[in-house]
Amino acid sequence: MITKPKGCYDIYGKEGRYFQKINEVVSMLAEVYHYDFIRTPIFEASELFHRGMGETTDVVKKEMYDFKDKGDRNITLRPEGTAGVVRAYIENKMYGDATQPVKFYYSGTMYRYERPQSGRDRELTQFGLELLGSNDAISDVEIISFGYQVYQLLGLKNVKVKINTLGDTSSRLEYRKVLIDYLKPHIDTFCEDCKARLLENPLRILDCKVDQENPILKDAPKTLDYLNDESKKHFQEVCDGLDILGIPYEIDSTIVRGLDYYNHTVFEFIAKIDGKELAIGAGGRYNGLVSLLGGPETPCVGFASGIGRVALAMQEEQIEVEEDAIDAYLLYVNEDEKKYAIYLAQELRLAGFKVETEYLGRSLKAQFKQADRLHAAFLIILNSEELDNNEVKVKNNHTKEEELVSLDTLIYYLDEQLPNFHEEEEECSCCHHHEEEEE
């Protein structure tokens, strides 16, 4: 038997409904925030990620799926979404568009070769936002606000925002020097990866999962102490904006992000899962990436969120995503009725109703059971004699009441009755809940 690759998963059933719900909320919110959808290739030239993310980052050194294609080109399966969006921005000369800033959202699969564990997959699905062309702190606030609102609309309660700043290029370079001087005498107490990071990417030591309890880190210099005036002003404006919107946040100097292209604001969305904290989304400002990849100097900010991780958080908080109920199920017995069922199902679907019918030639009794399994609101029972009279029998699957309805008015009938059906269901559910409480 052929099985799926390690670290990859078939998403369907209940989990599929979580994924679908998350994407629906993201798409809805992207529309009101005025972000256009963008789709970039799943694989790109390896140089894009090596240059964009930084040769010394863990993702580039350890986690990328690099390969040669049949034309002997160096190709990489995308490990994240930002670099591809920036490449599209440059290649399509969007920086010349008068309607700056350019605002995009995406949702798609990413690939990272790492040890599979809860919340970490080799094939992962992310949604993300990128805002290109604005250096104003209001852009940082908008990106954080978008992520926070997504999680709120999904019903997540145990999510918090952790935020920090790396400052501009001069502030970051100054801090990097101070951090190296501080860590160097103690580097032998750190893991092998951190020893290598000292001169390559020292900020990554601050969020190392292996050394997070190392006491040396507790007294490490803070980025906030090495900001120039411009960087302090930008960060204060971001915090002020979050205060205006009532978005709770915690300043955490260990938030540095693992990719070289970040500067100024960096942040993470943290959810509690099984009593532990898990980053379900993260991002920040990356003002130098467009120029690094061959475009003009362009300030940018963005974030991405793992849909699988968000689904995990929703399940941990016992947020249910209801199975899709259908509006009507068409039942029939003979071939003539079957032919009409095909026609009527199409007509009702084109009118906007969720409709199913029989595909396996089961008995009428078995069809009733199938309709119940699919949570059909109404049963439309096709009978040859009634069809000859231009009528069908419609049964309310909650009250069990039946009514002969003219085919000419069937669509209007369902339009009118479906809201009543759902109201009756809610009332019944409430009554049942109260009965349980009294018991």
Average predicted confidence (pLDDT) for the chain? 90
Average the pLDDT over 317-334 and give the result: 92
Q: Is the pLDDT of residue 56 over 70?
A: no
Higher pLDDT, 105 or 257: 105
Runs of H (alpha helix) within 184-228: 192-200, 215-218
- Which pLDDT score is estimated for 255? 86
Instruction: Considering only CA atoms, give the Rg of the chain.
Output: 28
Helices 307-316 and 13-32 cross at an angle (nearest 10°) of 110
Q: What domains can you pick out in the chain, each with its CATH number?
A: 13-168+228-316 (3.30.930.10), 328-430 (3.40.50.800)
Q: Is the pLDDT of residue 436 over 60?
A: no
Grouping H, G, I as helix, E, B as strand and the rest as coil, residue 71 is coil
Q: State how beta strands 328-331 and 378-381 pair.
A: parallel
Give 245's pLDDT tier (boundaries 50, 70, 90).
very high
Average the pLDDT over 285-305 and give the result: 94
Q: Is the pLDDT of residue 335 over 60?
A: yes
Higher pLDDT, 405 or 114: 405
Whole-prediction pTM: 0.86
Average the pLDDT over 289-314 and give the result: 94
Q: Is the pLDDT of residue 136 over 80?
A: yes
- Which pLDDT score is estimated for 423? 66
Give 38's pLDDT tier (boundaries 50, 70, 90).
very high
Instruction: Please tell me the total number of residues recorded for the chain in this structure.
Output: 439
- Which pLDDT score is estimated for 216? 86
Give 435's pLDDT tier (boundaries 50, 70, 90).
very low
How far apart are the C-alpha atoms of 54 and 318, rounded to whole Å?
A: 39
Structural contact between residues 168 and 159, judged by C-beta atoms closer than 8 angstroms: no
Q: Is the pLDDT of residue 258 over 70?
A: no
Beta strands in 173-231 (DSSP E): none
Higher pLDDT, 167 or 436: 167
CA 74, 78, 81, 85 torsion-angle sign: positive
By mean pLDDT, which of 68-77, 80-89, 162-171, 271-280 is the weakest? 271-280
Q: Which of 82, 49, 84 is nearest to 64 (CA)?
A: 49
By mean pLDDT, which of 25-39, 199-213, 269-283 is the weakest? 199-213
**Position 128, amino acid:** G
Average the pLDDT over 115-142 and give the result: 91
Runs of H (alpha helix) within 40-168: 46-53, 58, 82-91, 137-153
Angle (CA) 142 16 272, round 5°: 55
How far apart are the C-alpha atoms of 261 and 263, rounded to whole Å?
A: 7
Grouping H, G, I as helix, E, B as strand and the rest as coil, residue 160 is strand
Give 434's pLDDT tier (boundaries 50, 70, 90).
very low
Q: Is the pLDDT of residue 212 over 50?
A: yes
